[in-house]
């Protein structure tokens, strides 16, 4: 059973082919990693997969449903959640409100019930709050629940974005460098989290430079270079692919060292 | 146990806790304020402050929470005023029905103005509403057969179920009750999924959309809500004053309203009330200010932006909290 099918996807910026004629599939409840050198087009791909960018060509289907050209919130409603490489936290809110905002799709958002604060809405708000607190606990953030997000440390903000994305109960979660800037202990925690998510049936798409993390958790790896597919397969297959070794893994040691 | 520790950690005063202490405190102020009124003039200023507060509570939802600027809310105010006046005076409708119909009409107008513009990203709303306000004031001034042109028009008194509101006391009570209702509605909205959606899209539209928030829809909704507040205050003003002129739709008036919101405090309902009240009372107290009104409001807007970017009420409450900690 295929969850996400991408075909002929192309995105250019001026003369730059950020993504060029890319086709692949992501199967449900697997951990699918996307790796590649800086500027390979990984973030651009995630932006395409969430509707933030409109592709120049190609299509994106989720369970056979055409999503290409739909607005971003429709991608979210179809079950795609994500985090950002550059934090996109709601800094004017508490951590709890950030996560509750992530539950938007699960909440009733009629204007009149909101203005009148109907008993139904009050009940839904209490439930939403409990669930958001549960997610904060799940990510070890309960101490920050009422803290304003702009007072939280970087590592906590990274996890806050994951909590917010999970609050929408996505079928597919796209993580853009969740371990960047984290220490090895925190990175190991992220690995554990990704495994638990996949076990519980959530498809995880992981963009990451931390090769230990990628090789440890991935069912399938897609290697990008200059917006094209360089290689694809299991961790072992990708690691042994001479093209990857030549074009990418050779440079990884310096890159990983640079990122650590 | 958890609930109490959460309440302790809340970064607001007890009285500013929306929907509970805050509204009770405001009700108390509204109730005891007349004890200090020496004559009808005090009532008049208080009523005007209350009407401006109603507009600003709505406008703050748009500017303070959603981060969208309107430079044409005087246009919605004037449409609410003229709509109520025309239906009641020219067509003999009962004033309350005229008011409700005018407000509903303004909601429709706001929807039609907001929807095409708010689909676009960026700050087109300020320009579009600026144009809208100018058009409204020109139409009101030029269509002299219907509206009386630049000289304005008479408005019959407000009456409901045989009761005619004429005295200062009656109007003070009506406006006070409407203000409390406006604050209650606004705080409800702020503390709802819609309120979170507005604050979210203010900070990051991409992140809001990724969370499933339909940003254009929420922006249009809050734009309509804010226009409705302005139109309701407009209708009340027309009946209270008994006379309206096209200057109520002027650009200066729109800038005044924005200044009140920014001065009082963005994203603070009680800040909007304080801003509207202070900037209504101040020009009355210092009549010299009246001649240079636009210059004074412009200077105040700049000074607030530079020295108190969060506005008076959030800045003061922040300082006090730091002091008491
Ligand atoms: N909004 C944009 N406008 C113009 N060029 C862009 C834009 N976004 C990405 N690019 C270009 O597209 C290419 C791919 O960028 P992208 O951010 O997707 O790379 P990446 O694989 O995520 O890199 P990194 O590992 O550094 O995050 C780069 O050449 C980049 O300069
Ligand atoms: Mg990137």
3-state secondary structure chain B: CHHHHHHHHCCCCHHHCCCCHHHHHHHHHHHHHHHHCCCHHHHHHHHHHHHHHHHHHHHHHHHHHCCCCCCCHHHHHHHHHHHHHHHHHCCCCCHHHHHHHHHHHHHHHHHHHHHHHHCCCCCHHHHHHHHHHHHHHHHHHHCHHHHCHHHCEECCCEEECCEEECCHHHHHHHHHHHHHHHHHHHHHHHCCHHHHHHHHHHHCHHHHHHCCCCHHHHHHHHHHHHHHHHHHHHHHHHHHHCEECHHHHCHHHHHHHHHHHHHHCCCCHHHHHHHHHHHHHHHHHCCHHHHCHHHHHHHHHHHHHHHCCCCHHHHHHHHHHHHHC
Q: Do B207 and A91 touch (CB under 8 A)?
A: no
CA of A91 to the centre of ligand 2 (A): 22
Tokens of A216: 């440890």
A117 and chain B in contact, CB less than 8 A: yes
Whether residue B185 and residue A116 make contact (CB cut-off 8 A), yes or no, is yes
Q: Which ligand lies nearest the alpha carbon of A83? A: 2
pLDDT at B154: 82
In this prediction, residue B11 carries a pLDDT of 44
Cα distances from B214 to residues A104, A188, B30, B259, in angstroms, run 10, 35, 38, 29
- The stretches in chain A having pLDDT less than 50 are 1, 254-260
Is pLDDT of B15 > 70?
Answer: no
Pocket test for ligand 1, best of A33, A42, A48 (most atoms within 8 A of CB): A42
**pLDDT (tens digit, 9 = 90+) per residue, B199-213?**
999 999 999 999 999
Q: What is the pLDDT of residue B283?
A: 78
Q: Is domain B2-324 classified as CATH 1.10.3470?
A: yes
SS3 A110: coil
- CA distance to partner chain B, nearest, from residue A185 (Å): 27
**Tens-place pLDDT, residues B31-89:** 888 888 778 788 899 999 999 999 999 999 999 999 999 999 999 999 999 999 999 88
Cβ distance B206 to A52 less than 8 Å, yes or no, reads yes
pLDDT at B9 over 60: no
Ligand number nearest CA of A44 is 1
- The contacts of residue B152 (CB under 8 Å, 6+ apart) are B243, B244, B245, B246
Query: Is the minimum CB–CB distance between A114 and chain B shorter than 8 Å?
Result: yes
| Atom number in ligand 1 closest to CA A224 | 21
Chain segment B263-318, per-residue pLDDT in tens: 888 888 999 999 999 989 887 777 766 677 777 778 888 888 788 777 778 877 77
A220 burial via Cβ count (<10 Å: 0-12, 13-18, 19+): buried
* 3-state percent helix, strand, coil for chain A, nearest multiple of 5: 45, 25, 30
Distance from CA of B56 to the nearest CA of A (A): 17
CB-based contact B202 A92, cutoff 8 Å? yes
Q: How far is CA B203 from the centre of its chain?
A: 23
Nearest CA to ligand 1 atom 24: A38
Tell me what pLDDT residue B315 has.
79
Q: Which of A11, A19, A33, A43 to mutate to test the pocket of ligand 1 (most atoms within 8 A of CB)?
A: A43
* Chain B hits for A148, Cβ within 8 Å: 11
* CB-based contact B19:B187 (threshold 8 Å): yes
Complete domains list, chain A, with CATH: 2-79+170-259 (3.40.50.300), 94-169 (no CATH)
The closest-lying atom of ligand 1 relative to the alpha carbon of residue A45 is: 18
Q: How many angstroms separate the CA atoms of B219 and A57, rounded?
A: 31
Select the residue of A88, A104, A145 nearest B206 (Cβ to Cβ). Answer: A88
Two structure tokens written together for A150: 């702009």
- Give tens-digit pLDDT for B79-135: 999 999 999 888 889 988 999 999 999 999 999 999 988 887 767 888 889 999 999
Beta bridge mates, B154: B243
Most distant pair of Cα atoms in chain A: their distance: 64
Chain A contact set for B189 (CB, 8 A): 111, 114-115
Q: Which of B10, B66, B190, B196 to mutate to test the interface with A (most CBs of A within 10 A)?
A: B196
The pLDDT assigned to B266 comes to 85
Distance between CA atoms of B178 and B240, rounded to whole angstroms? Answer: 13
Residue appearing with tokens 């919130």: A73
Residue A83 CB: number of other CB atoms within 10 A? 26
pLDDT at B297: 78
What SS3 state is found at A38?
coil
Q: How far apart are CA B234 and CA B27, in angstroms?
A: 22
- Indicate the pLDDT class of residue B8, thresholds 50, 70 and 90: very low
B20 in contact with A at a CB cutoff of 8 Å?
no
Residues 63-102 of A with CB under 8 A from B: 71-73, 76-77, 81-82, 84, 88-93, 97, 100-102
Distance CA B284, CA B139 (A): 29
Element containing residue A136 per DSSP (H, E): helix A119-138
Token readout for A56 is 């120049």
Give B-chain residues touching A52 at CB under 8 angstroms. Answer: 206, 209-210
Q: Is B274 on the interface with A (CB under 8 A)?
A: no
- Checking if the pLDDT of B12 tops 50, the result is no
Distance from A130 to chain B by nearest Cα, in Å?
11
More confident residue, B249 or B176: B176
Look at A97 and B199 and tell me if their CB atoms are within 8 Å: yes
- What was the pLDDT predicted at B324? 55
% of chain B at pLDDT higher than 70: 90
Is residue A111 within a helix (H) or strand (E), and if so which, with residue range? helix A111-116
Task: Quote the CA–CA distance of B265 and B253 in Å, as a whole number.
Answer: 19
Q: Does A116 touch chain B (CB under 8 A)?
A: yes
Positive or negative: CA dihedral A41, A47, A49, A51: negative
Are B196 and A97 in contact (CB < 8 Å)? yes
Residue of minimum CA distance from atom 26 in ligand 1? A38
Cβ–Cβ contact B225 with A under 8 A: yes
> Looking at the predicted structure, is the pLDDT value of residue B190 above 90?
yes
Domain residue limits, chain B = 2-324
- Residues of A within 8 A of B197 (CB-CB) are 101, 104, 109
Query: pLDDT-based confidence at B4, cuts 50/70/90?
Result: very low
Averaged pLDDT score across all residues of chain B: 85
pLDDT for B158 equals: 78
Q: Which of A40, A227, A229, A254 to mutate to test the pocket of ligand 1 (most atoms within 8 A of CB)?
A: A40
Is pLDDT above 80 for B161?
no
End-to-end CA distance of chain A: 37
What residues flank ligand 1, with Cβ below 6 Å? A 13, 16, 18, 36, 38-44, 85
pLDDT tens per residue, range A208-220: 999 999 999 999 9
């Amino acid at each position: 059973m295929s969850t996400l099918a991408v075909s002929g996807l192309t995105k250019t910026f001026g003369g730059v082919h950020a993504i060029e004629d890319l086709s692949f599939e992501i199967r449900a409840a697997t951990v699918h990693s996307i790796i590649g050198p800086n500027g390979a087009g990984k973030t651009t791909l995630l932006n395409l997969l969430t509707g933030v960018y409109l592709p120049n060509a190609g299509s994106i289907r989720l369970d056979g449903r055409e999503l290409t050209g739909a607005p971003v919130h429709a991608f979210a409603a179809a079950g795609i959640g994500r985090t950002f490489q550059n934090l996109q936290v709601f800094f004017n809110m508490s951590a709890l409100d950030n996560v509750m905002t992530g539950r938007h799709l699960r909440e009733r958002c009629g204007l009149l019930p909101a203005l009148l604060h109907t008993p139904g809405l009050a009940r839904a708000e209490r439930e939403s709050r409990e669930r958001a607190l549960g997610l904060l606990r799940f990510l070890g953030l309960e101490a920050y629940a009422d803290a304003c997000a702009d007072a939280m440390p970087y590592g906590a903000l990274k996890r806050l974005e994951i909590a917010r994305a999970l609050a929408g109960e996505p079928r597919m979660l796209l993580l853009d460098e969740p371990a960047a800037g984290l220490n090895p202990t925190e990175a190991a925690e992220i690995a554990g989290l990704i495994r638990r998510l996949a076990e519980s049936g959530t498809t995880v798409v992981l963009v990451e430079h931390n090769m230990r993390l990628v090789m440890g958790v991935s069912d399938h790896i897609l290697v990008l270079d200059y917006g094209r597919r360089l290689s694809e397969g299991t961790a072992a297959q990708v690691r042994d692919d001479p093209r990857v070794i030549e074009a990418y893994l050779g440079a990884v040691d310096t890159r990983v060292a640079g990122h650590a | 146990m958890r609930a109490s520790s959460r309440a302790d950690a809340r970064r607001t005063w007890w009285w500013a806790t929306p929907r509970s202490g805050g509204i009770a405190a405001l009700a108390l102020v509204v109730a005891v304020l007349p004890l200090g009124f020496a004559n009808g003039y005090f009532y008049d200023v208080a009523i005007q402050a209350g009407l401006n507060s109603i507009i600003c509570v709505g406008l703050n939802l748009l500017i303070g929470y959603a981060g969208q600027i309107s430079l044409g809310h005087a246009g919605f105010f004037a449409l609410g005023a003229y709509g109520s006046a025309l239906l009641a005076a020219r067509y003999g409708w009962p004033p309350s029905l005229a008011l409700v119909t005018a407000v509903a009409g303004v909601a429709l107008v706001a929807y039609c103005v907001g929807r095409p513009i708010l689909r676009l990203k960026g700050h087109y709303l300020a320009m579009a509403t600026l144009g809208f306000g100018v058009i409204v004031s020109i139409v009101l001034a030029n269509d002299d057969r219907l509206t009386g042109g630049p000289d304005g028009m008479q408005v019959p008194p407000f009456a409901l179920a045989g009761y005619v509101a004429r005295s200062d006391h009656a109007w003070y009570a009506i406006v006070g009750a409407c203000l409390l209702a406006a604050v209650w509605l606004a705080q409800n909205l702020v503390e709802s999924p819609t309120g979170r959606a507005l604050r979210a899209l203010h900070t990051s539209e991409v992140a809001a959309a990724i969370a499933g928030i339909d940003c254009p829809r929420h922006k249009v909704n809050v734009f309509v809500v804010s226009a409705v507040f302005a139109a309701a205050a407009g209708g009340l003003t027309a009946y209270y004053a008994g006379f309206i002129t096209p200057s109520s739709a002027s650009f200066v008036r729109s800038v005044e309203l924005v200044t009140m919101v920014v001065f009082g405090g963005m994203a603070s309902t009680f800040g909007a009330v304080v801003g509207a009240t202070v900037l209504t009372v101040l020009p009355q107290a210092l009549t010299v200010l009246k001649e240079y009104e636009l210059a004074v409001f412009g200077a105040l807007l700049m000074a607030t932006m530079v020295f108190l970017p969060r506005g008076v009420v959030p800045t003061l409450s922040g300082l006090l909290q730091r002091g008491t900690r």
